[in-house]
Each structure stands twice: as C-alpha cells, then as structure tokens.
Amino acid sequence: MSTTPARAPRSDALANRGKILDSARKQFASEGTEVSMNEIARRAGVGVATLYRHFPQRDDLVAAIYAEELASLGGAVDEFLASMTPDDALTAWGARLLEYAITKRGLGAALLAMRERGDVRVDARGVLIDSMNKLLAAGREAGTIVDDVTGEDLMTAISGLWVLPVDEQYPDRARRLLALVFAGLRSV
Amino acid sequence: MSTTPARAPRSDALANRGKILDSARKQFASEGTEVSMNEIARRAGVGVATLYRHFPQRDDLVAAIYAEELASLGGAVDEFLASMTPDDALTAWGARLLEYAITKRGLGAALLAMRERGDVRVDARGVLIDSMNKLLAAGREAGTIVDDVTGEDLMTAISGLWVLPVDEQYPDRARRLLALVFAGLRSV
DNA sequence: ACTCAAGCGGAACACCATTCCGCTTGCTTG
DNA sequence: CAAGCAAGCGGAATGGTGTTCCGCTTGAGT
C-alpha cells in the first residue's frame, strides 16, 4: 500500500542520534532513567527539539538503550540451557540477571515503565519473559520446577530487583530475593 | 530542655486538617498517591499553602492516611497467630494483605516511596516488617518455614504487589505471586 | 470589645515535558 | 560545481507541576 520511498537519513541527523544515545546512556547509568529530557539534550549538545524528533517518547529512548542488553540476557538462556542441566541453567541465569541489575542501573525502572504503556515496538519485557518461560519449561520437563508458574509470574516475583535501592547492600538483598523465589520454583 | 508551652491548635486549623485528609484520602483511593498537590488543596477547599503547612512533605500526608491501615494489618498478625497454627496464620495474613492491596490503591506506591527517605516519623514499613518477622518466627519454631528468611526479605519478595498494575487481572496475578513466595518460605 | 499571633489564600517562582517555527545545511540534480 | 529545497536544526514559548513567600484575616485570650 503506502510504499514511501524514504530517503536515507541525513548524516548530521545520524550523528545527532548517536550523540543523544551516548548522553542518555551515561546519564541513565549514573542517575536512572528519570533524568530531565532537557538535560539529556543539553549534555548531548543538541537542541531539545532534536531529541524529541529522534525519540518522541522517553520510553523510545530507554528502549533503544536497553534493548540490546535485554536481548543478550535472553540469548544467555539458550546458551546455558545448551550446556548444563535445566536447574544449573536457572541458577546461572539468575547470576547473570543479578549482574545486569547491578551494572545497568535504570534498567529496572525502564522495565517497570514498559509495563504501563502497551509498548509493542521493542517489547523488551516480552523478550525477558520468553527467556524465563524457556527456563521454566526445561525445568518442568526435568521435574525440578513446579508446574504452575509462568514467565509472567516469575517476572512479577523478581520485581524487588527493580525496586530495591541500589546501594552497597543491594547485591546481598538481591541474592536473597532470588534464593527465596527460586526455592519456591523448586518446591516440587 | 526547650519546653515550648505550645498553645492548642486553632479550631479552623483543625478543621482544615480534616478537610485536607478527607480530600486526599478520596483521591489517593481513586487515583493513587501521585495526584497533584494543588488538586488536593483545591478539592479540599483550602489554599495550597495550608496544605503544605499541615503536611510539609507529600509523604507526611501519605503516611498520615495509611498509618492506621498498616497498623491494623500489623495487628491482624497477633490475632491470627493467637487463633491458628503458624502456617494457617501465614495464609490468612496473606489473604488479608491481598485484600488491602486491592482496596487501598496507592498504599503500595506509598510503601515504595517510604523506602527512599529514611522516614522515621511514622515508620509504616517497619510495622509491616515486624509483623512479617512474627509470622516467620512462629513458622520457624513450628518447623514449617525455612530458617534464613527475614521480614525484610519477605517485604522485598512481595514488591510485585505494589508494582503490578491494578486492573481486573490484578487479584489473580497477586494471588499467584503470594503462592510462589510462600512456597519458597515453606520449602524446609 | 481589643489585640495579636496563628493561620490563611493565592500570587510568585522554579523546574519540567512538549510543541512551534523561522533558520541552516546536507544532498541531489543539472 | 552551483543552486535549490526539504530534512533537520535550535531555542523560545506553552502549559503543567511542586513549593515558597507575604500581606491579610480571624479565633481566642484578656
């Protein structure tokens, strides 16, 4: 139907896009995804309109930045499932998840925000939930994981990871949370 | 030392305090605790300065409104523990918690917000965590609950309750969350 | 009835997200 | 290589927050 020819984007537009992503990535990491849009634009050295032109919604920016991280988290599942028992894969994946939660500050807030809007474009949550479902299915088949828990359920259960304050106590608290939830999963 | 005589508050001040609390309670229940301060003042029929004079921080208002609810949730623990087995008490308390989470919309957001600030005045979180510790201690003694889980841990694990969108699917999702977490607790 | 500080209302200020619009500049075409 | 034009730009403007300031009002003690 509407076969828009669509010229290639101008080089300066591409450069600006990059500058914005760099600026946002830094600030998301250091101060969370709630930083002011104006500030992101200012530090990127572009006008605020340029920011909005490239990323009409704040979530577009968030999604663009975290999409690959989350995809890699999803990919790790296949990797783990291919090389260990389902139960070990679950443990290993939990460790990887923890690592991400600690390193990529703001990722949690982003995930929470994504739930609100029915964000179809880059369904990062969906990617994660799919991963979880794979882990759960494998564990179920092996008989090491209870029958009636879904990926959605697991995603909800680990919400604490995104809600806990990220300070020096975070790693320990997060580990304890995963231990408790995984214990529930394994209570066959 | 500073024994300020402190006159009794004026009658109109008291009335305004009441009007503000009524207005806020209604709006918190119907739209969450994020409603505009100006709107709360407007609907209460007072100036915005009056609102801030009585409740300097938004959380003061939130705490004032939910304090009694949370205290009652805490009281229920003693009641349940006095009349049933620790394990049944846990189940019953979970049901009560769920009921509150559904009814008192905004309570969750309030609890999350309280974690940020080291809010000593009305430590509503502490009340809840104390309750959980009682339940856990009783269960541990009865041998029905694992040893190494604290009230803090449990509070974290049920974070999902405050994070899930409150819609028609909420009760089911929340129930499943509690089931999973409780299963973990019971995996002795 | 008189006084005066406790208490009030709303304007004022600062900050944020988002939109608008006149100007600049990369790319294409002759 | 030059010229034209639309893609893209920046920053000012708009409309909405939370929070403070300050001159006026009024309850309550004398």
Residues B100-112 have pLDDT tens digits of: 888 877 778 778 7
Structure tokens at A26: 């830094």
Residue found by looking up tokens 């508050």 in the block: B9
Confidence check: pLDDT of A2 > 50: no
pLDDT score recorded for residue B3 = 45
Structure tokens at A138: 């494998």
pTM, to two decimals: 0.84
What does the alpha-carbon distance between residue A111 and residue A33 come to, in Å, rounded to a whole number? 11
Confidence check: pLDDT of B165 > 80: yes
DSSP string, B143-159: T-S-TT--HHHHHHHTT
Question: Considering only residues 19-48 of protein chain A, which place a Cβ less than 7 A from any atom of strand C?
Answer: 35-39, 48
Give whole-number Cα distances, A145 to A14, A127, B147, B163, in Å.
47, 21, 21, 25
pLDDT score recorded for residue A140 = 97
For residue A10, give every residue at least 6 positions away whose Cβ sits within 8 Å of its Cβ, in sequence order, or none.
none
Rounded to a whole number of angstroms, the distance from the CA of B145 to the nearest CA of chain A is 12
3-state secondary structure of B37: helix
CB count in 10 Å sphere of residue B173: 17
Residue by residue, what is the 3-state secondary structure of chain A? Answer: CCCCCCCCCCHHHHHHHHHHHHHHHHHHHHHCCCCCHHHHHHHHCCCHHHHHHHCCCHHHHHHHHHHHHHHHHHHHHHHHHHHCCHHHHHHHHHHHHHHHHHHCCCHHHHHHHHHHCCCCCCCHHHHHHHHHHHHHHHHHHHCCCCCCCCHHHHHHHCCHHHHCCCCCCHHHHHHHHHHHHHHHHCCC
Q: What average pLDDT score do residues A42-65 get?
A: 93
What does the alpha-carbon distance between residue B128 and residue A98 come to, in Å, rounded to a whole number? 26
Is the Cβ of B146 closer than 8 Å to some Cβ of chain A? yes
Least confident of A36-50, B9-23, B123-137, B172-186: B123-137
A176–B156 C-beta distance less than 8 A: yes
- Cβ proximity of B101 and B108 under 8 Å: yes
Nearest by CB: A187 against B116, B159, B184: B184
For residue B27, give every residue at least 6 positions away whose Cβ sits within 8 Å of its Cβ, in sequence order, or none.
B35, B39, B40, B43
What does the alpha-carbon distance between residue B162 and residue B112 come to, in Å, rounded to a whole number? 8
Give strand C nucleotides closer than 7 A to any protein Cβ. Answer: 6-12, 15-21, 25-28
Express as a percent the part of chain A with pLDDT over 70: 93
User: What angle do helix axes A58-83 and A107-116 make, rounded to 10 degrees?
Assistant: 110
Is the Cβ of A172 closer than 8 Å to some Cβ of chain B? no
What is chain A's mean pLDDT, rounded? Answer: 89
pLDDT band at A3 (very low <50, low <70, confident <90, very high): very low
pLDDT score recorded for residue B7 = 72
pLDDT band at A121 (very low <50, low <70, confident <90, very high): low
Q: What average pLDDT score do residues B1-15 get?
A: 75
Confidence check: pLDDT of B65 > 80: yes
Structure tokens at B153: 């841990």
pLDDT band at B68 (very low <50, low <70, confident <90, very high): confident
End-to-end CA distance of chain B: 53
Q: Give the distance from CA B102 to its chain's centroid.
A: 12
What does the alpha-carbon distance between residue B95 and residue B125 come to, in Å, rounded to a whole number? 18
Confidence check: pLDDT of B118 > 70: no
Length of chain B equals: 188
Q: Is the CB of B148 under 7 A from strand C?
A: no
Express as a percent the part of chain B with pLDDT over 90: 62
B184–A183 C-beta distance less than 8 A: yes
Express as a percent the part of chain B with pLDDT over 70: 92
Q: Find chain A residues with C-beta within 8 A of B146's C-beta.
A: 183
Confidence check: pLDDT of A5 > 80: no
Sign of CA dihedral A61, A62, A64, A65: positive
Angle, alpha carbons A79-A82-A88 (nearest 5°): 85
Higher model confidence: residue B63 or residue B173?
B173
B187–A186 C-beta distance less than 8 A: yes
Is the Cβ of B115 closer than 8 Å to some Cβ of chain A? yes
pLDDT score recorded for residue A1 = 47
Confidence check: pLDDT of B117 > 70: no
Is the Cβ of B149 closer than 8 Å to some Cβ of chain A? yes
pLDDT score recorded for residue B2 = 45
| Most confident region among A28-32, B16-20, B57-61 by mean pLDDT | B16-20
Structure tokens at A27: 């600030």
pLDDT band at A133 (very low <50, low <70, confident <90, very high): very high
Q: What average pLDDT score do residues A109-127 get?
A: 69
pLDDT band at B122 (very low <50, low <70, confident <90, very high): low
